[in-house]
Amino acid sequence: MAERSTAAVDVADNSGDDPLTAQAGKATTDGAAESQNSAEKTAPDTGSERQGTEPAIAAPEMHSGHKLARRYRLEECVTRLDGFSSWRAVDEKLRRAVGVHLLPADHPRARSVLAAARSSALLGDPRFVQVLDAVEENDLVYVVHEWIPDATELTALLAMGPMEPHDAYQLVDQLSQAMAAAHREGLAHLRLTPGAVLRSSTGQYRIRGLAVNAALRGITADGPQRADTEAIGALLYAALTHRWPYENDAYGLSGLPKGVGLLAPDQVRAGVHRGLSELAMRALINDGATASRQEPPCTTPDELAKAVAAMPRIRPPEPAFTSPPEYQRTTYQQGTYARPAPRPGTSITQPVPSPPAPLQSRTGKVLKWTVAALLIAALGLGSWQVADKLIDRDKDSVDPGSSQTDSGEKNPAPESGKPVAIKGARDFDPLGDHSEKPAGIKNSYDGNPSTFWTTDGYKGTGDFGHLKSGVGIILDLGKVQQVGTVDVSFLGGDTSVELRTASEDASSEPTTLGGFNKVANGSGSNVSLKPGKPVRARYVLVWLTKLPQSDEGNFRGKVSEIKITS
């Protein structure tokens, strides 16, 4: 099983065995162990899911410090439920944290768990928490997966209150696109609860437990695409209203009032974005749409992703302006510094005599005129020296032995072909989640061709899986300079790339693709990009538009070195 270099994430979702297509029952958090009795309390079945009814099986007796395959050391048991247990562990070979699911090899679900884990590992989509290993060994079946230490569970985000419209838009957009990609490969989740969704520090959402969480609990569905679509709709509903869209409380959220049915989000809470409210209802309602627009329901993640794309883009809120504090005028009270203290019995409110005006005496007037005369003399001497220098320079400029060019130009153009230093760089992903492997940016211009910056991996085609038109690197030259040639070296195959520059008078780094002008393009492993006419700029964008296929089967760009000359 292929291994990934990222850190790992967690455990099977422990929020009970209630399917989202049924009314959710009591929920628990992912980090807490559950008893078998609490897991058996399920909500009424709607018929869209089937859940295993095998007899209770004791989870394997393991302890902290136990080592699997002489490599994975168990650290902490976070779940023990229904014959399996989930652990936080350490991969001693790669020295990183991982998550491990354990169950006996003779468990009725062991075969399906292994099959689900291996199918999920083959997907290789970075929007899902990756399965790193799936092994049957010594009467045990264990699944090893990523552990992401800097991610926040959606359960914690929902506990903080309703989301802003932009954040809720990003949630449904990213989840629907990810699940649409998974279903195109024949994979379903069936346990897409708040505990199965993580938000990284860069704002990207990742889904854990694809296929595996359902296999661990023996959950199947007659309509898996419909089940996952309704689950995304429930998460969007909760993000907009801070309420769970069923009568029972779940995942730390209050349910809807009993007997009133499913209310639209904008009827539950004032100020909800109208378009997102209708989108949540289209995903949740199977046999009808919202009463206001009569749009058809979304029954698959792909239909939901297209409905999100058809909406007007919701921009992030403007940063709040904080006015500077008012200027505090400092007043100095005239006191009695260096004066003797008043004698006892005398008044302390005696007027202080004001000092005479400066330079008002006869001596002061003489001093003022003397200083003025000296200043005039100094100015005259300085002017004479400056004039003398200018006369000498004019004489030199008409000297027959001067290095004047044949064309008569006195100021030659900047010398071309000189290296231009790159003062800084950052990843540029304005059409995606605004983050594209920022940690490796320095490798693209460090002078070492063996190091490189890589993009995320994309499924399907080299044009970023039809998700966006490109990603790139913004290079800061420190000041406006002449850009003659930009040489870009790629690893892994031919890559299509464009050279774009910000305008010469740009006061800051552009934040949108429209802030850069395309000046050259090319394709290959070593591409030399040269503008058709002289260009002067401080900010230069190397924009990748088509990626080669990697050994992993997906499409990924690798920039090993960027060099700029004037």
At 375 the pLDDT is 83
At 39 the pLDDT is 32
For 529-552, what is each residue's pLDDT tens digit? 999 888 999 999 999 999 999 888
pLDDT of 561 > 70? The answer is yes
At 391 the pLDDT is 67
Closest alpha carbon to 294 in 309, 305, 278: 278
pLDDT band at 411 (very low <50, low <70, confident <90, very high): very low
pLDDT band at 10 (very low <50, low <70, confident <90, very high): very low
DSSP 3-state of 86 = strand
DSSP 3-state of 492 = coil
3-state SS of 228-244 is: HHHHHHHHHHHHHHCEC
Buried-state track 139-155, b at ≥16 Cβ within 10 A, e below 16 = ebbbbbbbbbeebebbb
Choice among 227-241, 285-299, 462-476 with the minimum mean pLDDT: 285-299
pLDDT of 459 > 60? The answer is yes
At 433 the pLDDT is 81
For 126-158, what is each residue's pLDDT tens digit? 999 999 999 999 899 999 999 998 899 999 999
| Cβ atoms 90, 96 nearer than 8 A | yes
Q: Which has the higher per-residue pLDDT, 15 or 193?
A: 193
Cα–Cα distance, 177 to 231 (Å, whole number) = 14
DSSP 3-state of 232 = helix
For 322-340, what is each residue's pLDDT tens digit? 666 665 555 544 444 444 5
Count other Cβ atoms within 10 Å, centred on residue 518: 13
Distances (CA, A) of 82 to 11, 55, 141: 14, 9, 15
Count other Cβ atoms within 10 Å, centred on residue 393: 9
For 85-115, what is each residue's pLDDT tens digit? 999 999 999 999 999 999 999 999 999 999 9
pLDDT band at 488 (very low <50, low <70, confident <90, very high): very high
The two three-digit tokens of residue 84, written as one number? 């399996």
Averaged pLDDT for residues 401-419: 53
β 197-199/152-153 pair status: antiparallel
For 500-522, what is each residue's pLDDT tens digit? 999 988 888 998 888 899 999 99
For 41-91, what is each residue's pLDDT tens digit? 333 333 334 444 454 566 667 889 999 999 999 999 998 888 899 999 999
At 560 the pLDDT is 94
At 28 the pLDDT is 30
Structure letter (DSSP) for residue 123: H
Structure letter (DSSP) for residue 250: B
Burial of 503 per CB tally in 10 Å (0-12, 13-18, 19+): middle
At 251 the pLDDT is 93
Averaged pLDDT for residues 225-238: 97
Phi/psi of residue 473, nearest 5 degrees? -130, 130
DSSP labels, 145-195 = EE--TT-EEHHHHHHT-PPPHHHHHHHHHHHHHHHHHHHHTT---S---GG
At 402 the pLDDT is 40
| Cβ atoms 340, 348 nearer than 8 A | no
pLDDT band at 405 (very low <50, low <70, confident <90, very high): very low
User: What integer best gives the mean pLDDT of the chain?
Assistant: 80
pLDDT band at 348 (very low <50, low <70, confident <90, very high): very low
| Cβ atoms 300, 226 nearer than 8 A | yes
**Which is it for the CA torsion 367, 368, 370, 374, positive or negative?**
positive
* Percentages (nearest 5) of helix, strand, coil residues in the chain: 25, 25, 50
DSSP labels, 370-416 = HHHHHHHHHHHHHHHHHHHHHHHHHHHHT-TTS---TT--SSPPPPS
pLDDT of 408 > 50? The answer is no
What is the reported pTM?
0.52
Q: Which has the higher per-residue pLDDT, 315 or 496?
A: 496
β-sheet with 197-199: strand ranges across: 152-153, 197-199, 205-207
